[in-house]
Structure 1
Amino acid sequence: MKDPVLPGNPPIPLTLRRSARARRISLRISQLDGRVTLTMPKRLPEREALDFAETKQDWIRKHLAERGEDVIVAPGAELPLGGKMLRVAAGQGRGVRIGDQDIIVPGAPESIGKRLAAHLREVARDRLAGACDDYAARLGRPYSRLTLRDTRSRWGSCTSDGGLMFSWRLIMTPPEVLDYVAAHEVAHLAQMNHSPAFWAEVTRIYGDYAAPRQWLRDHGGGLHRYKF
């Protein structure tokens, strides 16, 4: 059975999900792919969920418009790096070169996205390692390891044995945002919670974190639009 569609211009595909735990209808828009998911109680008639989506149509369209279209990373595309928009261009040579306005990526056009993603991972690792070293020294606690992933639900995490994990897409954010996330996870080495004591540690080693934290809330999800 095909998933239902919210009529309009353009029509919006809906994904219906039934949950034994759901007590009411909930609506979620994925920042990763723009998918609109309706979660509803197991015994609720499907028509009620579709009627609910129709009442939220303006909200759905507004959020989809704010998210924007997916961007396939290829020559001619623009993507953020360090908070600035740079144009991807094909080039000669062996290595990726990042300039003030362009990112020059050698190789076959169909491989440019993957090659650029691999390069950005390395740049992100260098930046995050430097930031974490600095904040760990300020905190007075070492971390055990640093790993990078392309995470969907979080920008970073800290394990009980001192391991730090970050999304490599942080390299696309303004520098102060990357630094804030590094400080946030390092602070968990002292406080494995989000208590007032934890936020006091973030403030002590980073400073006022309100602006970069808000930037992530407002713009972070959009970084997943870039498909490498």
Structure 2
Amino acid sequence: MNLLGRSVLTDGDRLDVDGASVRLKVDRRARRVSLRLDRTRREIVATAPSIRRLPEAAAFARQRAQWIAERLAELPDAAPLAPGLLIEVFGRPVRLEAGAGRARWIEPADGSTPRIAAMGEGEGYARAVVLVLRKKALEVLSARTAHYAARLGAPMPKVSVADAKSRWGSCRPGLRGAPGVIRYSWRLALAPFEVADYVAAHECAHLLELNHGPRFWAHVRALVGDERRHRDWLRAEGARLHAFGR
């Protein structure tokens, strides 16, 4: 509290604007107060160049209540997980079903639609399904990473998956004999295989080039061809993937 008894706004605070939650953010690189929709986190961000100007950012957000409501209405609906739902995993239809015991992926011997069986209800069921999807994402993306690292003549990096909010993948090349590290968003399992495959090629190219310069893109295109359609797909559909299971 300040000396006048009013709350002091800080970076990360949230305010209610006609029922919508707005996150306040300080970005010292910003030149002015601004509002934006973070489609990945499904929230509005009010940015100020300094803590001193956060009240100005808050006031600006309140003035733009209608704009905020319109932007949030553009977001895809949340997609809760429940038995009976048909989803796509790396482009393949997969049926969710109720089951006993540990959540698992079921690959029918007759080649019919795969299934994910999990027990529980509501959020518990969703967490169990996501655990299976994370394992499938790690399996497939590890295999594609091994494939592209070998094609590039780079040592196989360590691979992991996480629920990243701002990146589909990240790469830390190996140093002094230690293996590199590539981390992917598990939500790539919800994208078409060729899109997830492009991300694997992209991150493997960073094992050789720590930038997005001409040589980097030459490596990517040698692996997967024209990458622009995959990047466009992620820009158009990324928010939907992040809404999955919420």
The TM-score, its normalising length taken from structure 2, stands at 0.76
SS of equivalent residue, structure 2 residue 164: coil
State the 1:45 CA deviation.
Answer: 7.2
**How far apart are the structure 1 equivalents of 2:36 and 2:138?**
32
State the 1:109 CA deviation.
Answer: 2.6
The yes-or-no answer on 1:128 pairing with 2:137 is no
Question: 2:177 matched to which residue of 1?
Answer: none
- The 3 A distance-change label for structure 1 pair 146 and 44 is closer
Contact 1:143 / 1:189 at 8 angstroms: preserved in 2?
no
Give the stretch that moved more between structures: 207-216 or 113-122.
113-122
Question: 1:43 matched to which residue of 2?
Answer: 52
The yes-or-no answer on 1:182 pairing with 2:193 is no
**How far apart are the structure 2 equivalents of 1:104 and 1:148?**
19
**How far apart are the structure 2 equivalents of 1:121 and 1:84?**
16
Output one character per residue of 1:25-74: Cα deviation in whole Å (capped at 9) or x when no partner.
1223233442212012433373565346645844x444423322323323
- The 3 A distance-change label for structure 1 pair 45 and 160 is closer
**How far apart are the structure 1 equivalents of 2:230 and 2:170?**
17
**How far apart are the structure 2 equivalents of 1:148 and 1:48?**
35
Of 150, 154, 163, the residue aligned with 2:167 is: 154
**How far apart are the structure 1 equivalents of 2:146 and 2:185?**
17
Alignment of 1:57-206 (within 5 A): 57-58=66-67, 60-77=68-85, 79-83=87-91, 86-91=94-99, 95-97=104-106, 103-110=115-122, 111-161=124-174, 162-206=180-224
- The 3 A distance-change label for structure 1 pair 106 and 63 is same
SS of equivalent residue, structure 2 residue 142: helix
Contact 1:26 / 1:39 at 8 angstroms: preserved in 2?
yes
The yes-or-no answer on 1:215 pairing with 2:226 is no
**How far apart are the structure 2 equivalents of 1:225 and 1:92?**
27
Q: How many residue pairs align between the two structures? A: 224
Which amino acid in 2 is paired with 1:105? Answer: A
Long gaps (5+) in structure 1: none
Long gaps (5+) in structure 2: 1-6, 8-12, 175-179
- The 3 A distance-change label for structure 1 pair 132 and 47 is closer
Contact 2:41 / 2:165 at 8 angstroms: preserved in 1?
no
Contact 2:22 / 2:43 at 8 angstroms: preserved in 1?
yes
The yes-or-no answer on 1:13 pairing with 2:26 is no
- The 3 A distance-change label for structure 1 pair 140 and 74 is same
Give the stretch that moved more between structures: 21-30 or 86-95.
86-95
Q: Share of identical aligned residues, percent?
A: 35
**How far apart are the structure 1 equivalents of 2:99 and 2:14?**
43
Question: 1:28 matched to which residue of 2?
Answer: 36
SS of equivalent residue, structure 1 residue 227: coil
